[in-house]
Structure 1
């Protein structure tokens, strides 16, 4: 699996006025086309790990499915050709035809903007979470997330996300795309019947409105990030009763919304 995640490349390095030839470890990109009930639905660029989880989480976040065993009749991954084949119990027609074929890049920017928000009304939900966490626990979870990713330390080219209790990481996932990392977590929860209302989402990337909405769809009440939020994301967090904290670096952090859960 490692050869699919990263590779070595000869490069020219410049340091303190000296030029030398060396090797660098580069993260790879993997295109995956989702075939839903025989129709080409989306092409995603991702890190080729936990692909089945990512596909399930992606379809759930877009409202195509709600459950794993109840809604999916079959799923198969052809990694050599870059295809994921999914058959649903209820054959979906209108939801597919409402969308044109789309390419979802790993840049996590406007390439996904038109795709999101179309199904958010029926899939985003306000959090009812009662879980609380201390400032010290927030900082420790972020530190544990970053230190646990060998791929990030070697390449600096991936995002990390983890589902946690206040005391420890339960499961973590890595991908070149911020959205993909969260989809992998979502898919893992659906496939393993993990309840998320009392869990915490720890994330290395920026909290955009799209990321905030995805956290809402997963069902968590607390979203912790190493990076910055956007104003639209914070407005959504206020409306959806989600606690957001950002710039968790070293011994510092900022609380932006619903601070009552951080004590």
Structure 2
């Protein structure tokens, strides 16, 4: 049965001098344990919706599998404490007791459980040259995003990661309390559908931290646009792997931090 990621709770609302009782919709946040071939690898705090997409995206962006076809099946088990996601990935190379991320991961953290510095920063392969975005594509995507944020419209508490066409049409959205989880869910859904990631761009309702750049670039996304700011390390990584990184996406304005050649109205910029 699909999980909505929503929960109702009793609330007391004060408005002026009046008090009233009611109910409110809240975003669910639960421990999600990822297991590979029966062995625990990570526990992340996530919204328990679209967990199959999360399993695929997390597995690919964390390097647990090389391609979506390496995953033979995903089983989700709801338990009293949270959710267990069993990924059948055949022979997963490099997974041992020392590399397992058994520490709980917070919903806002992309590093929780990493045990070695080399697990955190590693060289990124150059992303493909495409796509070339049409003028005002980022604006169109931003304007068209809100109607697709169904979970956030009811709770006001979750991030979104959206896939858009070069013209700025929103094609797919995934949501989660954690920005990294939302991006993993989106990338997982796109990969499961066989989408050519050279044919569009990603828009996220968060800052562009280096983890977001790493996840997007690892699957060949050429353009990552963020509503908030990037970090200095995110810009450095984007420059090194030839990813176009934009931040502060607003109506009529955005800031390009690396490789503007994929934006048709900025293609001649340095």
TM-score (norm 2): 0.86
Distance 2:225 2:103 in 1: 30
1:34 has 2:34 as partner: yes
Residues 202 and 226 (structure 1), Cα distance of their counterparts in 2 relative to 1, 3 Å cut: same
Q: Number of residue pairs matched? A: 261
Runs of 4+ residues over 6 Å off in structure 1:
none
Report the counterpart of residue 74 of structure 2 in structure 1: 75
CA contact (8 A) 1:120 1:213 kept: no
Per the alignment, residue 50 of structure 1 pairs with 50
Q: What is the rounded CA distance, in whole Å, between the counterparts of 1:234 and 1:110 in structure 2?
A: 18
**Larger mean Cα displacement after TM superposition, 133-142 or 218-227:** 133-142
1:242–1:114 distance in 2 versus 1, CA, 3 Å: farther
Shift, 1:66, TM fit:
1.2
1:63 partner SS: coil
Write the distance in 2 (CA, Å) between the matches of 1:145 and 1:107: 21
Could you say which residue in structure 2 is the equivalent of 1:102? 103
Q: For the residues of structure 2 that align with 1:253 and 1:91, how far apart are their CA atoms?
A: 41
TM-score normalised over the length of structure 1: 0.88
Which residue of 1 is the match for residue 170 of structure 2?
Answer: 169
Work out the CA distance in 2 between the residues paired with 1:152 and 1:117: 35
State how far apart, in whole Å, the 2-side matches of 1:147 and 1:138 are: 16
1:18 positional shift: 5.0
The equivalent of 1:24 in structure 2 is 24
Report deviation, 1:131.
1.6
The aligned counterpart of 2:268 is none
- Long gaps (5+) in structure 2: 266-270
Q: 1:99 to 1:41 in 2, by over 3 A?
A: closer
Tell me the alpha carbon deviations over residues 108-142 of structure 1, each in whole angstroms, 9 at most, x when there is no partner: 366366588517637x3221223222442111101
Change (3 A) 1:216 1:200: same
Are residues 1:183 and 2:155 paired? no
TM-fit CA distance, 1:75: 2.4
Equivalent residue for 1:235?
236
- The structure-2 alpha-carbon separation of the partners of 1:151 and 1:208, relative to structure 1 and needing over 3 Å to count, comes to same
Unpaired segments ≥5 residues, structure 1 = none
Secondary structure in 2 aligned to 1:121? coil
1:238-257 matches, cutoff 5 A = 238-257=239-258
Deviation at 1:256, TM superposition (A): 1.6
112 and 256 in structure 1: CA distance in 2 versus 1, 3 angstrom threshold? farther
